[in-house]
Amino acid sequence: MRQGRLIATGAMLAFCLFALWQSLLLSLTDRLGPGPGFFPFWLALVGIVLAIALLIETAREPRDPPSSESSESSDTRILPHGAGGLRWLAIVVLLAAATAAMSMVGFRIAMLIFNAGLLVALGERRWWAIALFAVLGSFGVYYVFTTWLDVLLPTGWLGI
């Protein structure tokens, strides 16, 4: 946990330093008053001070006690692992793949594959239930939202 917090705070410090550099490329003041860089500059500066203070505070905390693989609960580990990690990965990868594919194959096809794939990855094995949910959650949802609610959803190269 301590190590994870140090890395996360370090990343936030880097973000604030980057924001400070970017804000300096904008004008801090102009003839009318504060410029576009004024507010982000001061925010980034405050963020840097806070991040450094938090880094020092976290570094002073006692180190995490070493624990065996078996006794370590999932809550104390930062990154996903084991079977839960695979489910985690399935959600992220399938969602990313569906988003990437949506502009090419459209909402219906992308979500049809996403729904079926995710249900299988999360443990569903009844093929008829998977097929029914996948179709309703893609073609059915598309119909309801575009026809009844006038929400525009992506269509692909084939017009589907």
Is residue 10 near another protein by the rule CB under 8 A?
no
Q: Could you tell me the smallest distance in angstroms from the CB atom of residue 68 to another protein? A: 20
Torsion of CA 112, 113, 114, 118, to 10 degrees: 110
Within 13 Å of residue 60, how many CA atoms lie on the same side as its CB? 6
Kindly write out the interface string for residues 69-98 of this chain, putting x where it contacts another protein by CB under 8 A and - elsewhere. -----xx--x-x--xxx-xx-xxx--xx-x
Kindly write out the interface string for residues 21-40 of this chain, putting x where it contacts another protein by CB under 8 A and - elsewhere. -xx--x--xx-xxxxxxxxx
Instruction: With beta carbons less than 8 A apart as the criterion, state whether 71 and 123 touch.
Output: no
Is residue 47 near another protein by the rule CB under 8 A?
yes
DSSP for 70-107, written as a single string = TT--GGG-SS--HHHHHHHHHHHHHHHHHHHHHHHHHH
Q: List the structure tokens of 82.
A: 């084991």
Instruction: With beta carbons less than 8 A apart as the criterion, state whether 155 and 107 touch.
Output: yes
Q: Could you tell me the smallest distance in angstroms from the CB atom of residue 30 to another protein? A: 8
Q: How many whole angstroms separate alpha carbon 6 and alpha carbon 1? A: 9
- Residues at the interface with another protein (CB under 8 A): 1, 4-5, 8-9, 12, 15-16, 19, 22-23, 26, 29-30, 32-40, 43-44, 46-47, 50-51, 53-54, 57, 74-75, 78, 80, 83-85, 87-88, 90-92, 95-96, 98-99, 102-103, 111, 114-115, 118-119, 122-124, 133, 137-138, 141, 145, 149-154
